[in-house]
Each structure stands twice: as C-alpha cells, then as structure tokens.
Amino acid sequence: MERILTRWIDIPDLRHLNVYEAHGGYKALRKALFDMTPEEIINEVKASNLRGRGGAAFPTGVKWSFIPKDSKKPVYVCCNADESEPGTFANRYQLENDPHGIIEGILITCRAVGAHTCYVYLRGEFNLQKRRLDEAIAEARAKGYVGRNIMGSGFDVEIYTHRGAGAYICGEETGLLESLEGKRAYPRNRPPFPAIQGAFGCPTVVNNVETLTNVPHIITRGGDWYKSIGPEKSPGPKLFCLSGHVNKPGLYELPMGYPLKDLIYEVGGGILGGKKLKGVIPGGSSFPIFTAEEAVKVNMDFDSVRAAGSLMGTAGVMVMNEDTCMVDALRTIAHFYHHESCGQCTPCREGCGWIEKLLIDLEAGRGRMEDLEILIDAATNMEGNTVCVLADSLSMPVKSFVPKFRDEFEEHVRLGRCPFRETGTAAKGHAAAAAAR
C-alpha cells in the first residue's frame, strides 16, 4: 500500500517546509482557497466517508456541516493533539515528522467552516512535538500560508499551540475546551454540542490530528479515491499502534479493514517468544478485549470491530500472550482510570476506585467469589450514567475481561494467590539455581 499518512518514512526531512512543498505540500490548500467554495470542501469530505480517527468515528464532513452558516459569533477549529489513550502513539510521530501536513489540514478545515483561529491542544508531555509544530507554524507564516491574506486569497487564519498538563480527560473534546478556556477540565453536558457552543461559547469544530492529516489528500485526490481504500462505509488509510507481546511492535499504516490476525502475525511478526495468543484489545485500553479465538476473525475497521463486540477507537492494538494474568491486566487498567477520573460524576469517581480495590484484592489472593458479580454490577451501573464516557472506559473492559476469562478470576480466589506468580518456595529455588549458574 502507498504510504499516505506516514510519507515521512519515505521522504526524509518532510517536517521542513521546502521538502514538504517539493512533495506537493500546500497544493491542496491552494485548491481549497481558489478552486472550491466552503460548501464544496465539506461535500468532498462527506463524499470521502472520512470518519473521525479520535475514537468516536463520527463522519467528519457531517460534523463540519453542523457549524451554523453566517454565524454572528467567531467560529473556531480545535485540533485535538492530547493523545492520552494507553496503547496509542500515532499523533506524536505525526507531530514530529509531518507538522505541515497537520497545518495544511487545519487551514483547509478553517476555510470549510469559516474559522479564522485554530487552537492546537497538545498532550502535556509533548515537548518535542510542540517545538516541531511551532517551528513549522513559523515557517508557514513566513511563507504566507498562516496569518493574514493567505496566498493572497483574502482569507486569514492564525494557529496557536497550547500544551495541557497531562490529564487524560482533556482528550475528551469538551474537557479539552474547558481546559483551553483556563478552567478545570470537567466535561460538559451536551447538548449544546461544540458545533453550536464550543470554545468561548462560540461554534467550534474539534478534530484530532490523524483526522485532519487526511484532509489535504482528500482535497487533492478526491473523495472517490479515498473511498476506494478499504470498506466503503469505513474507508481510508489508518494508523495502527501495535504494542504488547509481538515481535515487531510499532506504528503501521494500513488500509481500513485490514485483518487483525495479519496485523499480529505478519506485520507484527507473531507472538513474542513463540508463545500463544491469549487476548487482544483492539482500540486502546478503554474497550472490550477479544479472546484469541475472536481476534483472528476480526477485520480492523469501525463497523467490523463493533459487530464483533468491541470498538476500534484509536486503533491502539494491545496484544497479550498466554502468560498474561488477566486479573492483573484489568487491575492495571482500573488503576489508570481511577487515577484519571476528574471526579465530577459520582458513578465514575466512586466506581473506578471500588473496581480497582476489588481487583487489587483478587490479585493479592484476598478476593471472594461474590466479588466477580460485584465487579459486573458496579461496571453496569457506571456505564451511561456520567457526563462523559470515562466511566464507560473502565466499565467496558470489566464487562469483557471477567466473563471471557472467568475461570482465571475464580482461580485467583480458589488458590488465594495469583496463579501466574511463583510461590515463595519456587521463587527461592529459581533464585538459587540462577546463582549457581
């Protein structure tokens, strides 16, 4: 497959403006400014069936069309670069290696929705990435691509970068907007949606980095071309973040609909150490897990993964081998969401902590059989009862891990310890043998 979103692999120094221009950079922006109306841009993106890559998979062109026409208030575009989902690491590489691709996508989006200001909200830890993006914005401004009267078109756009403090909740679009406004990042009740009342009370489009970098290619080559890559209802190239027990973890660009089995065994080189596959989380830590038997039957696109019982999310594919303790894996996930809960909603604030405590006890050998039902009940009562979906992000893993690997959870209770950890006597024996060697 032709590399589209990861062209930097084939084109050294693509992050520099002269190299980006030499490989077609900003031609899509010129086309959008001089050859297309805003409505035509939106219709082309609609025709492409581009769906948001930030996790929700909402059709991008439709989202843009919700912005009121001839708004009396300013319209804003926010680029969500707060890549915080465990198992996901695509945006950081895009920001480092293709910042002009992001900028061009932002500018075309601004033209489409009538925005003159964009805020790029970056994950707090993205120091290098912010520096690279700021350098690219400065290059683009000096060349007349950013600022007033872009390319002599009379259209103005300014781009500002804003780095958060490393809070997971700021990846949720309304939590991001609250943080951008200088407030605590409590997600907002909806409606009103950001398209009506977003940043500073004004109409706002929020798209993530990967979504926006698709836009210049769609404008240059057309929606029909884009729709020809992968399934028609869920098309395009996709960045897959492959991690865990595979021989070749990393970031891979593949067409939507690529078989998960091939991603693991061909692209990823198979299971580390020749072990057996046990489970796969397909979209980042917040989604239901697949057993090995389920995983090898799934194609990686939004609709296929949903039909199989999980969600593709940000395509953070986390692979677990036969030696993985599923109680401990779920405990680790629960610790993360308990720590990252903003505390605004009681079911999330209390439920995440309760679930983590139950899993700590199970892993330590202090669990009871009835705790397994309590886990399911707590998760069920959290789901759908909070302002945002952080509670669901723990509920969904709990409601898949426990029933799919119930024997393992029960074994922790029966043995009074984790069966994947060595007993004290065995551990001493292994240590003595190692010392003798």
Where residue 307 sits, what CATH number does that domain have?
3.10.20.600
Structural domain that includes position 410 = 326-415
67-87 burial: b if 16+ Cβ within 10 Å, else e: beeeeeeebbbbbbbbbbbbb
Same domain for 208 and 266, yes or no, is: no
Round to the nearest angstrom and report the end-to-end CA distance of the chain. Answer: 49
Q: What is the CATH number for 372? A: 1.20.1440.230
DSSP classification of residue 263: I
Q: What span, in angstroms and rounded, lies between the C-alpha atoms of 130 and 431?
A: 46
Same domain for 338 and 267, yes or no, is: no
Q: What span, in angstroms and rounded, lies between the C-alpha atoms of 351 and 355?
A: 6
Query: Please, is 143 exposed, middle or buried when counting C-beta atoms within 10 Å of its C-beta (0-12, 13-18, 19+)?
Result: middle
Instruction: Residue 2: count other Cβ atoms within 10 Å of its Cβ.
Output: 9
Collect all residues with Cβ–Cβ distance below 8 Å to 377 and sequence separation of at least 6: none
Q: What span, in angstroms and rounded, lies between the C-alpha atoms of 205 and 105?
A: 13
For the CA atoms of 220, 256, 100, 156, what is the dihedral angle to 10 degrees? 60
Q: What span, in angstroms and rounded, lies between the C-alpha atoms of 65 and 35?
A: 19
For 141, the token pair is 């401004």
Same domain for 214 and 285, yes or no, is: no
Q: What span, in angstroms and rounded, lies between the C-alpha atoms of 119 and 219?
A: 22
In a domain, 222, yes or no: yes
The pLDDT, as a whole number, for residue 432 is: 38
The pLDDT, as a whole number, for residue 70 is: 87
Same domain for 295 and 160, yes or no, is: no
Same domain for 127 and 242, yes or no, is: no
Contact 16, 135 (CB under 8 A): no
DSSP classification of residue 331: H
Contact 108, 29 (CB under 8 A): yes
- H or E segment and range at residue 299: strand 299-300
In a domain, 29, yes or no: yes
In a domain, 47, yes or no: yes
- CB half-sphere exposure, 68, CA atoms < 13 A: 14
Same domain for 317 and 330, yes or no, is: no
Last residue of one domain, picked from the residues 300, 321, 342: 321
Same domain for 262 and 337, yes or no, is: no
Same domain for 154 and 115, yes or no, is: yes
The pLDDT, as a whole number, for residue 95 is: 98
In a domain, 313, yes or no: yes
The total number of structural domains that make up the chain: 3
Collect all residues with Cβ–Cβ distance below 8 Å to 44 and sequence separation of at least 6: 36, 61, 218, 219, 222, 223
In a domain, 420, yes or no: no
The pLDDT, as a whole number, for residue 124 is: 93
Instruction: Residue 426: count other Cβ atoms within 10 Å of its Cβ.
Output: 10
In the chain (437 residues long), the average pLDDT of successive 10-residue segments reads: 94 97 98 98 98 94 96 97 95 98 98 98 96 98 98 98 95 97 96 96 98 98 97 96 98 98 98 97 96 98 97 97 98 98 97 98 97 98 96 98 98 96 48 38
In a domain, 398, yes or no: yes
The pLDDT, as a whole number, for residue 1 is: 78
For 388, the token pair is 């945002």
Last residue of one domain, picked from the residues 205, 227, 249: 227
The pLDDT, as a whole number, for residue 437 is: 40
Same domain for 16 and 122, yes or no, is: yes
The SS3 call for residue 10 is coil
Same domain for 14 and 77, yes or no, is: yes
> How would DSSP label each residue in 145-214?
SSBSSGGGSS--BEEEEEE--S-GGGGSHHHHHHHHTTS--PPPPSSSPTTTS-GGGS-EEEEEHHHHHH
Last residue of one domain, picked from the residues 190, 205, 227: 227
Same domain for 364 and 263, yes or no, is: no
- H or E segment and range at residue 244: strand 237-244
Compute CA distances 103 → 25, 78, 255, 344, whole Å: 10, 12, 23, 34
**Which residue has tokens 């925005």?**
115
In a domain, 289, yes or no: yes
Same domain for 39 and 79, yes or no, is: yes
In a domain, 334, yes or no: yes
Q: What is the CATH number for 13? A: 3.40.50.11540
Collect all residues with Cβ–Cβ distance below 8 Å to 380 and sequence separation of at least 6: 395, 399
Contact 310, 393 (CB under 8 A): no
